[in-house]
Amino acid sequence: MRMRIGPRLHGPRIDGCPAPFPFPVPTPALAPPSVAVIGAGPAGLMAAETLALAGVPVDVYDAMPSAGRKFLLAGKGGLNLTHAEPAPAFVSRYRERAGVLAPLLDRFGSQALREWARALGVETFVGSSGRVFPVDMKAAPLLRAWMHRLRQQGVRFHMRWRWTGWADDGALGFETPSGAQQARPAATVLALGGASWARLGSDGAWVPWLRASGVDVRELEPANCGFDVGWSAHFSTRHAGAPLKTVAIEWDEPDEGVGADASFVAPAGDVDRGTGRGAAFAAIGPPVRRRQKGEFVVTATGVEGSLVYAASAALRQTLAQQGQATFHLDLLPGREAAFVAAEVARPRGSRSLATHLKSRLGLDGVKMGLLHECLPREAMADPVALARAIKALPLTVRRCRPLDEAISTAGGVRFEALATAPQTPLMLQARPGVFCAGEMLDWEAPTGGYLLTACFATGRAAGAGAADWWRRCAAGGTPEPV
């Protein structure tokens, strides 16, 4: 059977953004099988949209009753869609994977994502921290508009279809409300997420199936996670749940934290003393000291929150190497060390130490509790040691919180397991015609909009690769299930 390729030679556009790879759209007399997208999160939906705009029939499968469950949860307190910092700083947030993600982010990065949202009727704004949010701060209106557009584009959705791996003949197996089913697509995009928040669909069940196919998958670990410290019962009872606002932390990036192929750029306004522009270290070299302002929360067992998440990759690596990791907490980042030392040393007369520190430095509540928790009595009674601790209180973490509690996942399908040909980005070498996108790939980033942006960018790239594969199957007339 001969297939006719239509005359259009330019890639389709996604709301004003050109597709990453130009390809003609097939107009066969008898269409080949559709492309299957497994996973209806941001990466999977973006892959589906890219495919649909290329004229490819798309079937989306997901184990959950509705699409975008984790996306909606992420937007509960305000959907942080992306970040507005300059591209070099933005890309550096992906650490050792900055080099491989940079081309994908160039094609669909922060500004392109904002334009895409605008085309859905969702305006965005840049907050004081550089984070980008929808004007109404909500995820649901954006997801509703997107799902409506996808259905208009002909995307078919199969909800409560849980993927169970490949059959011996290469067919996709599913558990469905009506029993076991199979699908034989022309190509497949896997966008299955990591293994955090399993109740929302990302449970990591795909790992053994890919490994059995010869795919190199790095062990999944918690990223953007909390840590256990081991508080005393007294401190935990009094202060669990208390926020630590207007503080700063310092930590060491282990020497393997950022590869030689990608400089780690400290974003302006976010790191006030640290590596700075162009600071990088290869697999061999001394640790790099980083410092960042923000806030986090004391939990019953330790610490969690955005400031802790910023250091979580380095802390996790140090934990794996040494069994514990220490960061230093500045309780008064707006005060110079000399000022703090002078205020602590002032005569306090008959006043208690707690009253003295509250009146002179504004220290009370959980901040005062931390000093008592972490310092011996001798240090609390020594003005020099106490002042030093106020500016650099060591906190040692003992373990990461469980993976299912983490905001995101580290590890996954290694980029080295993917094809390198430009027309098949993110395709598995071990299974030609199968593409991977989103959090199931081996990259990580801090919170702040970086996670979602990379999910959109990789979903778009995987969709473009699958569309090119489908086109070639259509041109040959005998597409094979993969």
What is the per-residue pLDDT across 104-125, written as a single tens digit (0 to 9) for each? Answer: 999 999 999 999 999 999 999 9
CA distance linking residue 222 with residue 206, whole number of Å = 17
Mean pLDDT of 378-383: 96
Q: Are residues 232 and 269 in the same domain?
A: yes
Beta bridge partners of 325: 397
Do 85 and 79 form a contact (C-beta atoms < 8 A)? no
pLDDT (0 to 100) of residue 297 = 98
- Among candidate residues 374, 400, 426, the one where a domain is terminated: 400
DSSP 3-state of 61: strand
Q: Is the pLDDT of residue 338 over 90?
A: yes
Residue 27's pLDDT band, with cuts at 50, 70 and 90, is very low
Residue 26 near residue 471 (C-beta atoms within 8 A) = yes
Mean pLDDT, the chain, whole residue set: 87
212 and 353 share a domain? no
Do 288 and 381 reside in the same domain of the chain? yes
Provide the total of helices (H) and of strands (E) in the chain, helices listed first.
15, 22
For residue 270, being part of any structural domain is answered with yes
- In this structure, are 99 and 168 located in the same domain? yes
Residues 17 and 48 in one domain: yes
Domain containing residue 247: 227-400
Is 311's pLDDT higher than 60?
yes
The residue-averaged pLDDT of 195-214 equals 93
Instruction: Find the largest Cα–Cα distance for the chain.
Output: 97
Identify whether residues 273 and 387 lie together within a single domain: yes
Q: Does residue 358 lie within any of the structural domains?
A: yes
Please indicate, yes or no, whether residues 236 and 200 belong to a single structural domain of this protein. Answer: no
176's CB contacts (< 8 A; 6+ apart) are 158, 160, 161, 162
C-alpha separations of 394 from 17, 232, 337, 373 in Å = 48, 16, 16, 11
% of the chain surpassing 70 pLDDT: 85
Nearest to 105 by CA among 463, 470, 481, 455: 455
Structural contact between residues 388 and 340, judged by C-beta atoms closer than 8 angstroms: no
- Euclidean distance between the first and final Cα of the chain, in Å? 21
Look up tokens 């994977």; give the residue: 97
Report the distance separating Cα 119 and Cα 123, nearest Å: 9
* Residue 127 in domain: yes
**Whether residues 59 and 136 fall in one domain:** yes
How many structural domains is the chain composed of?
2
pLDDT for 32 equals: 62
Confidence of residue 76 (pLDDT cuts 50, 70, 90): confident
> In whole angstroms, what is the distance from residue 406 CA to residue 196 CA?
6
Residue with tokens 């081309």: 103
Q: Is residue 183 part of a domain?
A: yes
Same domain, 303 and 271: yes
Cα 81–chain centre separation: 11
- pLDDT at residue 285 in the model: 64
Is the same domain home to 182 and 253?
Answer: no
Q: In the predicted model, what is the mean pLDDT of residues 262-271? A: 34
Place of tokens 């955090």: 196
Contact status, residue 45 vs residue 143, Cβ threshold 8 Å:
no
Q: How far apart (Å, rounded) are the C-alpha atoms in residues 186 and 182?
A: 13
Instruction: Report which of residues 202 and 393 the model is more confident about.
Output: 393
Are 387 and 436 members of one domain? no
pLDDT on residue 477: 54
Domain assignment present for residue 131? The answer is: yes
Question: What is the CB-side half-sphere exposure of residue 171 using CA atoms within 13 A?
Answer: 9
What is the DSSP secondary structure assignment for residue 405, as one 8-state letter?
Answer: G
Dihedral in degrees, nearest 10, Cα atoms 320, 324, 325, 331: 150
pLDDT at 403 over 50: yes
User: Do 305 and 204 fall into the same domain?
Assistant: no
Q: Please check whether residue 261 lies inside any domain of the structure.
A: yes
- Give the amino acid at 433: G
Helix or strand (DSSP H, E) at 472: helix 450-476
> Rg (Cα) of the chain, in Å, rounded?
25
Asked which of 346, 374, 400 is the last residue of a domain, the reply is 400
Residue 475: band (very low, low, confident or very high) from pLDDT cuts 50, 70, 90: confident
For residue 481, is it within any domain?
A: no
Three-state DSSP state, 353: helix
More confident site: 225 or 253 = 225
Please give the average per-residue pLDDT across 348-364, as a whole number: 94
Please report the sign of the dihedral spanned by the C-alpha atoms of residue 255, residue 261, residue 267, residue 273: positive
The pLDDT of residue 104 is 96
End-of-domain residue from the set 366, 400, 434: 400
Residue type, 270: D
Residue 1 lies in a domain: no
- CATH at 133: 3.50.50.60
